[in-house]
Structure 1
Amino acid sequence: MIKKLLTVSITLALATSTGFVYAQAKAGVGKEKAASCAGCHGEDGNSAMPGFPKLAGQHQGYLIKQLKAFKSGERNAPMMAPLAMGLDDKSMEEIAAYYASQKISVNPAPTLPADDEDDDDKPAKTDDEKKAELAALIEQGSDLYRNGNIGREVSACVACHGPYAEGNKPAAYPALHSQHADYLIKTLSDFKTGARSNNPENMMHMIAKKMTDEDIKAVSYYISTMK
């Protein structure tokens, strides 16, 4: 009996080790193929520009799905379409494996959105007022993320994206934590207007269209602070 258990344990260990080595090899090849992506998304998938999404730590299945959508035209993106057109399924898997293996960077402490600071019709805000307003904005975003808004039938983000915005790997719902607030605002705005619709049953459009611009800003800023 002991001999049989040892044999099973060794077999499982070898299988796990082989799978890990294979995954690492795929990610290594993906790094080379992702070289042309570094200009916008960063060498390790951590974009330094807030308008471009961080890809580090994102679920492989979700990244593959998006690349295929760019390639087919299901997701309209003039910058991404030409790049995706040159990728076969294997290359997409390898690039996605590389980014999925990276660790997403933590964002610096957020500051008040620029459009809230620049208002010539009002006296300049003090630092304490800005801090209080930012704290209120993030608190509003936290409440919306976790509880939604029953009155306007806005679903809680936590239902699909998890308590720590880690996403749902089997369902291919993306991880959101530590993503750039600017990118999240644009994404939710695109879902709201229908400019982006490549999600199951257009679910994100149905949610985002019920969100106010302030809702979108608040939840985006909150998510950007999650680690």
Structure 2
Amino acid sequence: MAAAETKPAAKADIAKGQAIGTQVCAACHTSDGTRGAPANPILQGQHADYLAKQLGEFKSGKRDNPIMKGMATPLSDEDMKNVAAFFASKAAPAGAAKTKDLVLLGEKIYRGGIADRSIPACAGCHSPSGAGIPAQYPRLAGQHSDYTELQLKGFRDGVRKNNAVMTGVAAKLNDREIKAVADYIAGLH
């Protein structure tokens, strides 16, 4: 087919995404992806491309989570694109750090890394404000510290295997550093 004959990609349907979000996602992530349970990610304001990619990885098994696999498996690529667009269309509320004594350590690691252990700054990929880069790096600002801590430990411990860069970075962090970074991220805005 000639380039002139190819169809442009269909635009996501936010209303269809909202229907899926309120029927399928709401129990764990709330109907609009807001704060919800601290062990689950805040979906509001996350990049649509990143959310759709993660849903596809849950469905394929590249990202291993039995609950999310069960939720993602019945979704078509179009459904994933629609639900991702719905959550991305919402403005995420600001979060807050919980452990004030760790915030300075978390900020130091997030903004500057730990040079003597070859740990890069989180801000290098996720941006100084935590906005991330669509599709490649998720928005982190305001994310639940419990969720972020769990994901970093998952990368470090080989439980979460869908991002080699994060696996390598998290492998160098100890529990206190992970907790500090997660808490700092929760307060980023």
How big is the alpha-carbon RMSD for the aligned residues of Structure 1 and Structure 2? 1.2
Whether 1:71 and 2:59 are equivalent positions in the alignment is: yes
Moved beyond 4 Å, runs of 4+: none
1:172 deviates by 2.1
Gaps of 5+ in 1: 1-21, 113-133
The amino acid across from 2:147 in the alignment is Y
Asked if the contact 2:21–2:32 (Cα under 8 Å) also holds between the matched residues in 1, the reply is: no
Question: Which of the numbers 168, 178, 184 marks the counterpart of 1:206?
Answer: 168
Bigger relative CO (Cα 8 Å, ≥ 6 apart):
2
Question: Which of the numbers 65, 68, 72 marks the counterpart of 1:80?
Answer: 68
Question: Which of the numbers 151, 160, 163 marks the counterpart of 2:128?
Answer: 163
Q: Which whole-Å CA distance do the structure 2 matches of 1:48 and 1:72 have between them?
A: 26
**More helix per residue: 1 or 2?**
1
Identity, in percent, stands at 40
Asked if the contact 2:109–2:122 (Cα under 8 Å) also holds between the matched residues in 1, the reply is: yes
Partner of 1:34: 21
Whether 1:221 and 2:165 are equivalent positions in the alignment is: no
Gaps of 5+ in 2: 1-10
Q: TM-score, normalised by structure 1?
A: 0.76
**Which whole-Å deviations, capped at 9, do the CAs of 1:6-26 have from their partners, x for residues lacking one?**
xxxxxxxxxxxxxxxx65xx1
Q: How many residues align?
A: 178
User: Which of the two has higher C-alpha Rg?
Assistant: 1
Q: Which whole-Å CA distance do the structure 2 matches of 1:74 and 1:110 have between them?
A: 31
Q: TM-score, normalised by structure 2?
A: 0.91
Q: Aligned ranges for residues 1-227 of structure 1 at < 5 Å?
A: 26-35=13-22, 36-107=24-95, 109-112=96-99, 134=100, 136-169=101-134, 171-199=135-163, 202-227=164-189
Q: Which whole-Å CA distance do the structure 2 matches of 1:185 and 1:82 have between them?
A: 24
